[in-house]
Amino acid sequence: MAVEIFHNPRCSKSRQTLALLQEKGIDPDVTEYLTSPPTKERLTEILEMLHMQPRELMRKGESEYKDNNLGDPALSDDAVIKAMIDHPKLIERPIVITNGKARIGRPPESVLEIL
């Protein structure tokens, strides 16, 4: 079973989720999305797997959110996705993907639903 985690090593929830996977004997493919952001196509796939709209995956407390006026309801989904690709810090983390399903590791145990 291939498992991928969109990981930020500086985030405690991301580290906890990675440790949980490893405790379960899973050696996931780790994507440090801050240095290797997803493409538009990949982020769109992830949103579909999460059953989320782009704004729901956005970290609204980040300065990039405010600085780029991303709270503007007139922005299209494509514009929001582009903002997350341009500023990957805006993507909620961690995200675990396997078997065509995805979950956000908040709390970390929520990813166990798809394993």
Residue numbers annotated as active site: 11
Structure tokens, 20 = 């949980």
Residues in the chain: 115
- Contact (Cβ atoms closer than 8 angstroms) between residue 105 and residue 111: yes
Structure tokens, 102 = 């995805």
- Residue ranges of alpha helices (H) inside the chain are 12-23, 40-50, 63-67, 77-86
